Amino acid sequence: MTIETLIWLIPLPPLLAFFIIILITNRNKGLSHTISVGSAVLSWIGSMVVVWAAINSEHLGLHPFTSYLPWFPTGDNWFVIGVQIDPLSAGTLFFVAWTILMIFIYSVGYHNFGQPNGDHDRAGLPPDWATVSDVHGHSHKVPSIEPMYSRFFAFIGLFAFGMYLLVVTGNLLILFVGWEIMGLCSYLLIGFWYGKPSARAAMIKAFMTTRVGDVFMLLGIAYLYTATGTLNYREIFYNEEVLHQLATTATGIFGLSVAGLIGLLLFIGAVGKSAQWPLHVWLPDAMEGPTPVSAMIHAATMVSAGVYMTIRIFPLLSAGAEHGQLTPTMTVIAFIGTFTAIFAATIAIAQNDIKRVLAYSTISQLGFMFAAIGIGAYVAAAFHLIMHAFFKALLFLGSGSVIHGMEHGVLHTGEHIDSQDMFNMGGLRKKMPITFWTFLIGGLALAGFPILTAGFWSKDEIFADAFGHNHWAVFITLAFAALLTAYYTMRQITLTFLGKPRTHAAEHAHESKWTMTLPLVVLAVLSVIAGWVGIPEDFPALGGTIPNFMHEFVGETLLEHPEMVVFSYIPLLTSLVVSLGGLTLGWLVYRDIKVGAFDPAQKALGPLYTVLKKGYYFDELYDFLFVRPSYWLARNFAYLWMDHKVIDGIINGVGHIAGLIGDFLRNFIDKPIINGFGDWVGETTKKLGFLFRSIQTGRVQQYMIIALVSMMAFSAIFYYLLVFTR
């Protein structure tokens, strides 16, 4: 089998798993997860083979693995789709395959496989508990298995298909197909427990918010297709002529070139998918889904898709940029990314829900990546994308493990507490050691803990790029965001794992099963070593011991290979200070939180704390500005007023007038004139009839007399006429 054939096959196993589970095995939970995890393993193997081949092939950027297929005819030619693995997609495929496989395995434990069916569990609600009795006849409450277990594995299979498709394709329209399939899956999975009103609201919110971006993206795709006649990456992004032409044609809209406008439209799609301000509102709510889904959607795959696509179209964005000057579109991207990075980081410091902290940190980290793209740090963006996927998947899965442990404690003690609130935790490091250590590694990577963690290297590269190219505003803002990141990460770790347990449930929490902890360990390892592929050559002491593989490899994707920034101590020191400073600060503030205590930040920040906790009231604002008015517009304006009142009013009015005219014709023309005339004729005839009836006596003699008289009278008349009028 050629490598190209293999690339075509990579996305298929999870799709098949989806169909098999939905159609055939949905009643058998064990078989369903076996099929699903098995499909993930197959795709993983395929991906690894392809990535390995990609790494070992010379000049992959120049000669990527491609294979094309005509999809449908458009006039004289065909719309051609295909797969393409170039260095960028190889890197993406690597992290996608790993995270997806780990999430699949984790899901088996997360959904309590092997536990009995719940006593009161219903499809559409999270599993509660089941009663089992042991050999002594004591009955215990134990966690119960997810009632829609098989369905979950079907959905994440489809999800994985969408992501794989998006990565391996070499065509923007097929990317969009994968993109939207993931949108559907995130909708279905965020609302997996649709019995909860909050989940119902969140699923629709996620779909609709990303759809705002999607419709712009669709226009961008249509525009690009119109302008170039193709949607294959190779013919657009690796084609100097096309890029030049797109960059030099003006559109007349905001002074943008065609390339700039298309780039902007596509970027808006990414803003929706990757939850950037101002379309970030869906992501925190998306935590309503089961935790593996949070990891899947909001770390490993879906939100990464937006960044991946934007990196993919980078040649379009940067087309026309000369001598380090950013194009207008890049400036917009840099602004949105930077702003989102700091904006979301500030919100994250005031969240108490363990998953919501991570959700906002995801938004913030994605902002880092967009900022990097915006300032032209192509490799740094890709590098951070890959590293972030590992440690964020780790953190989400870790938080799921924590919640699981807490729920166990809740079940044991019968306490009524929110098992996701970090202020109800504390001291979990002893109860859940594996979760603790792996979470710590993930947290440190997120905070950019120096040298050891992957997050340090990738974040450092963004700083170096921003500094090296004199993007001061971006540099300073991101540095501050990184400080906050380290701070809230340490806050989270301290509140959750350090100190003493603050509730009985936390005292009785216990470590999760191996199916859950194994993925944590694997991802923790990746969160450390993966960063080593991108150590700058001239980094003090370490530089050069391992070649900067990342830069060489991914940089090749572009026609014009990006240059390395010259090493400087300033970004490095900044990076060290914000990371270590933030971590220390977080530990100092939260190391000693008592039971029932308020968040110390609440006192320090005053009313601002509430504003941050509420996420700057964006939900309320959008609800007021868009959601309510659009329903009002739909119901009252479009339907009741326009259709019912105006249009139907006119039509019914016409009908009514027609009726009135009919009435008039009937009552004033028909009845008096036409009927009147007819009746008059009839009546008159009748009267005449009455008149003549008197001579109808029935006596023959009388008739004879009348006949005789008549004959004589007529004869006289005729005689007169014939003789005298001649």
666 DSSP assignment: I
- Segment contacting other proteins by CB under 8 A, of 348-356, 502-510, 633-641, 691-699: 633-641
For other proteins, give the closer residue by CB, 209 or 494: 209
Q: Please list, in sequence order, all residues whose beta carbon lies within 8 angstroms of the beta carbon of residue 650, skipping any fewer than 6 positions away.
A: none
Binding of residue 559 to other proteins (CB under 8 A): no
For other proteins, give the closer residue by CB, 197 or 414: 197
* Smallest distance, other proteins to C-beta of residue 125, A: 9
Q: How far apart are CA 12 and CA 18, in angstroms?
A: 10
Q: How far apart are CA 576 and CA 558, in angstroms?
A: 31
* Smallest distance, other proteins to C-beta of residue 585, A: 43
For other proteins, give the closer residue by CB, 621 or 651: 651
Please report where in the chains the tokens 């095995």 appear, as a residue: 25
For other proteins, the binding residues in 61-100 under the rule CB under 8 A are: 70-76
Beta strands in 95-155 (DSSP E): 129-133, 139-143
Binding of residue 626 to other proteins (CB under 8 A): no
534 DSSP assignment: G
* Smallest distance, other proteins to C-beta of residue 218, A: 6
Q: For 422-453, where are the alpha helices, taking DSSP H only?
A: 428-431, 433-447
Among 98, 152, 179, 314, binds other proteins (CB under 8 A): 179
Binding of residue 647 to other proteins (CB under 8 A): yes
- The answer to whether the beta carbons of residues 491 and 584 sit under 8 Å apart is no
Binding of residue 225 to other proteins (CB under 8 A): yes
CA 628 → CA 148, 207, 328, 415, 623, distances in Å? 33, 17, 34, 38, 6
Question: 10 Å Cβ neighbour count for 618?
Answer: 16
Q: How far apart are CA 585 and CA 590, in angstroms?
A: 9
For other proteins, give the closer residue by CB, 75 or 607: 75
Binding of residue 184 to other proteins (CB under 8 A): yes
Binding of residue 223 to other proteins (CB under 8 A): yes
* Smallest distance, other proteins to C-beta of residue 226, A: 5
- Segment contacting other proteins by CB under 8 A, of 219-227, 330-338, 380-388, 555-563: 219-227
Beta strands in 461-561 (DSSP E): none
For other proteins, give the closer residue by CB, 20 or 203: 203
Q: How far apart are CA 584 and CA 159, in angstroms?
A: 39
Q: How far apart are CA 264 and CA 160, in angstroms?
A: 28
Among 16, 48, 208, 452, binds other proteins (CB under 8 A): 208
Among 62, 588, 633, 716, binds other proteins (CB under 8 A): 633
Question: 10 Å Cβ neighbour count for 108?
Answer: 23
* Smallest distance, other proteins to C-beta of residue 510, A: 31
Among 200, 412, 513, 561, binds other proteins (CB under 8 A): 200
For other proteins, the binding residues in 100-159 under the rule CB under 8 A are: 122-124
- The answer to whether the beta carbons of residues 424 and 413 sit under 8 Å apart is no
Environment class of 485 (CB within 10 Å of its CB; exposed 0-12, middle 13-18, buried 19+): buried
Binding of residue 176 to other proteins (CB under 8 A): yes
* Smallest distance, other proteins to C-beta of residue 297, A: 17
Question: 10 Å Cβ neighbour count for 197?
Answer: 9
Binding of residue 652 to other proteins (CB under 8 A): yes
Binding of residue 254 to other proteins (CB under 8 A): no
For other proteins, give the closer residue by CB, 49 or 177: 177
* Smallest distance, other proteins to C-beta of residue 257, A: 16
User: Which tokens in the block code for residue 107?
Assistant: 């899901």
- The answer to whether the beta carbons of residues 152 and 165 sit under 8 Å apart is no
Binding of residue 197 to other proteins (CB under 8 A): yes
Q: For 169-257, where are the alpha helices, taking DSSP H only?
A: 172-190, 197-228, 233-237, 240-248
Reported as half-sphere exposure (CB side, CA atoms, 13 A), residue 333 has a value of 38
Q: How far apart are CA 382 and CA 372, in angstroms?
A: 9
Binding of residue 22 to other proteins (CB under 8 A): yes
For other proteins, the binding residues in 480-519 under the rule CB under 8 A are: none
* Smallest distance, other proteins to C-beta of residue 1, A: 22
Q: Please list, in sequence order, all residues whose beta carbon lies within 8 angstroms of the beta carbon of residue 712, skipping any fewer than 6 positions away.
A: none
Among 132, 529, 588, 651, binds other proteins (CB under 8 A): 651
DSSP, collapsed to helix, strand or coil, labels residue 680 as: helix
For other proteins, give the closer residue by CB, 600 or 649: 649
Binding of residue 643 to other proteins (CB under 8 A): yes
Residues that bind other proteins (CB under 8 A): 22, 70-76, 122-124, 173, 176-177, 179-181, 184, 187-188, 191, 194-195, 197, 200, 203-204, 207-208, 211-212, 215-216, 218-219, 221-223, 225-226, 630-631, 633-640, 642-643, 647-648, 651-653, 655-656, 659
